[in-house]
Chain A
Amino acid sequence: METTLAGHAMETLPHVTWLGVLIKAVIILAVISAIAGFGTFIERKVLAFMQRRLGPMHVGPFGLLQLAADGIKLFTKEDIVPQNANRFIFMIAPIITAATAFIALSAVPVFPDFTIPEFIPLLGGTFVPSIAADLNIGILFVLGMMAAGLYGPLLAGMSQANKWGIIGAARTAVQFLSYEVVTGLSILAPIMLVGSLSFVDFNDYQQGGIGSWLIWQQPVAFVLFLIAGFAETNRTPFDLLEHEAEVVSGYATEYSGMRWGMFFIGEYANMITVSIIAAVVFLGGYSVEGIGWLFIILKVAFFFFLMLWVRASWPHIRPDQLMWLCWKVLMPIALINILITAIVILL
Chain B
Amino acid sequence: MYEIVAFYLFSVLTIGLFLVTVLSKNVLYAMTSLAAGMVLISGFFFILGADFLGVVQLVVYVGAIMALYSFAMMFFDATRDIKEKNTNPALVFILGGLSAFVLVLMFAAPIHSDAIVALYPMHDGIGNAQDVGMVLFTKYLIPFEVAALMLLVAMISGIILAGKKMDLSLTEDTSADDEIMTKKDEK
Contact = CB atoms under 8 A, between A and B. Distances in A.
Interface of A: 84-86, 88-89, 135-137, 140-141, 143-145, 147-148, 150-151, 154-155, 158-159, 161, 166, 169-170, 173-174, 176-177, 180, 184, 196-198, 318, 320
A140 B55 CA distance: 7
A173 B129 CA distance: 29
Interface in B61-93: 62-63, 66-67, 69-70, 72-73, 78-79
A86 B79 CA distance: 6
Contact of A158 (B28, B35, B67): B28
A-B pairs, top 3 by smallest CB distance, nearest first, are A144-B58, A173-B70, A144-B59
Contacts of A154: 66, 69
B70 A170 contact: yes
A173 B78 contact: no
A157 to B, nearest CB: 9
A147 B59 CA distance: 7
B67 A173 contact: yes
A137 B29 contact: no
Contact of B51 (A136, A159, A177): A136
B52 interface: yes
B99 interface: no
Given A136-B128, A158-B28, A170-B73, A141 B63 contact: no
Given A144-B58, A147-B63, A173 B73 contact: yes
Interface residues of B, number: 28
B39 interface: yes
A148 B73 contact: no
B68 to A, nearest CB: 10
Chain B contact residues: over half helix, strand or loop, or mixed? helix
B51 A158 contact: no
A140 B51 CA distance: 10
Contact of B171 (A177, A198, A318): A318
A147 B127 CA distance: 24
Residue among A143, A158, A173 with the highest chain B CB neighbour number at 10 A: A158
A145 B58 contact: yes
B65 to A, nearest CB: 9
Contacts of B94: none
Contact of A143 (B35, B59, B171): B59
Residue among A88, A136, A180, A198 with the highest chain B CB neighbour number at 10 A: A136
Given A154-B66, A158-B28, A173-B70, 8 more contacts: A89-B29, A136-B128, A148-B39, A148-B58, A154-B69, A177-B67, A196-B127, A197-B127
A177 B32 CA distance: 18
Contacts of B63: 147, 176-177, 180
Nearest to B39: A148
Given A137-B128, A169-B73, A159 B28 contact: yes
B66 A158 contact: no
Contacts of B58: 141, 144-145, 148
Chain A contact residues: over half helix, strand or loop, or mixed? helix
Contacts of A177: 63, 66-67, 70
Nearest to A196: B127
Interface in B28-51: 28-29, 32, 35, 39, 51
Contacts of B79: 84-86, 158-159, 161
B26 interface: yes
B69 A137 contact: no
A85 B79 CA distance: 6
Residue among B67, B69, B169 with the highest chain A CB neighbour number at 10 A: B69
Contacts of A89: 28-29, 32
Contacts of A150: 66
A135 B39 CA distance: 17
A251 to B, nearest CB: 12
A67 to B, nearest CB: 33
A150 B70 CA distance: 13
A225 B129 CA distance: 22
A137 B67 CA distance: 25
A120 to B, nearest CB: 27
A332 B51 CA distance: 29
